[in-house]
Amino acid sequence: MISVKDFTREKVIYYIQKAENVEKLPKCSKTLINLFYEPSTRTSCSFHTAMLKLGGNIIEITDNSSAKKGESLEDTIKTVSNYGDIIVLRHPEKGAAERASKVAHVPVINAGDGNGEHPTQALLDIYTIYEEATKDLLKENITVTFIGDIKNSRTIHSLIHLLNLFDVTYIFISPPGLEIDTTGLNVLNATLEEALKITDVVYITRIQKERTSETYEPICLSKELLSSAYPDLIIMHPLPRQEELPPEIDDDPRAVYFKQVAYGVRMRMAILDELIRTMQ
């Protein structure tokens, strides 16, 4: 579970269907290693909870003292392979998860590698779209509007890879300087107001201040903007949020970003169980 590039349309549907049925998964007695070189309370807790619900154990390594003594990622991975059955790795460098998977004796899950990928977030996002926006990913064309820091969001990069397996129209609305290359994508140009009237999914993110030295004016949603928007759209956000998504929207039934958190636990249970089965 290193890159969304390994995914097919069938594999995505398989994981979604598995996530819908996590209550039926058998209990395991495996140990998960949460190896986080960058803090991420949300992602580490989500995996932690998922493993507990599967009956397994967790060892959290959030402050690797060996790394501070000069240990390479490879040495750490070879070492912690002895402490558990699956490694969840968050690392600031792109490609770290792939490097780790080459030396690990146990499966490695990429939980974010620098500005690279975040495949499990992408899976939980497409699962949320499936549950809340459309139950027919395979047949329907859906329109997804990305708002905010599109350039630095590995979450969005990974999600687009998965959405490309289906019939999707994209709208991108970002502060100047935070765009991505949209070559090959089915893009529709629209203002924020226009987009909100026709999109099925609004996916908004915060400006990732930790990844840039410049300041950008965020593009913000508001109750007013949403009052004239498409009544069946859904609003997603990977959280944590800042001013781009004011809490006044939380009561809107189209706001599904806290449901996303719950879908995340289910999807990670599905992913962990899948890896556990391949071990047997």
Give CA–CA dist 14/165, Å, rounded. Answer: 14
SS3 of residue 32 by DSSP:
strand
Catalytic, 268? Answer: no
228: its two tokens: 């004239």
Q: Of 93-101, 137-145, 174-182, 234-242, which segment contacts a copy of itself by CB under 8 A?
A: 234-242
8 Å CB contact between 132 and 263: no
Stretch 62-91: interaction string toward a copy of itself, x if CB under 8 A? xxxxx-xxxxx-xx--xxx-xxx-------
Angle at 105 between CA 102 and CA 110, to 5 degrees: 55
Chain centroid to Cα 175, Å, comes to: 22
Stretch 237-266: interaction string toward a copy of itself, x if CB under 8 A? --xxxx----x----------x--xx-xx-
8 Å CB contact between 36 and 90: yes
Chain centroid to Cα 39, Å, comes to: 16
Q: CB-based contacts of 69: which residues, under 8 Å, 6+ apart? A: none
Query: Interface with a copy of itself includes 45 (CB under 8 A)?
Result: yes
Residues β-bridged to residue 32: 58, 86
Catalytic, 43? Answer: yes
Minimum CB distance to a copy of itself smaller for 72 or for 191? 72
How big is the chain, counted in residues? 280
Closest distance of CB 262 from a copy of itself, Å:
5
Out of 3, 46, 152, 155, point to the residue binding a copy of itself (CB under 8 A): 46
Query: Interface with a copy of itself includes 49 (CB under 8 A)?
Result: yes
Query: Interface with a copy of itself includes 167 (CB under 8 A)?
Result: no
Closest distance of CB 31 from a copy of itself, Å:
6
Binders of a copy of itself among residues 10 to 39 (CB under 8 A) are: 31, 39
Query: Interface with a copy of itself includes 271 (CB under 8 A)?
Result: no
Beta carbons within 10 angstroms of residue 229's beta carbon = 21
Catalytic, 69? Answer: yes
- Give which of 42, 48, 45, 30 is closest to 86, Cα–Cα: 30
Closest distance of CB 55 from a copy of itself, Å:
9
Which is catalytic among the residues 18, 30, 48, 90?
Answer: 90
Residues β-bridged to residue 108: 87
Q: Which residues are catalytic?
A: 42-43, 69, 90, 118
Residues of this chain that bind a copy of itself (CB under 8 A): 31, 39-42, 45-46, 48-49, 52, 57, 59-66, 68-72, 74-75, 78-80, 82-84, 206, 210, 239-242, 247, 258, 261-262, 264-265
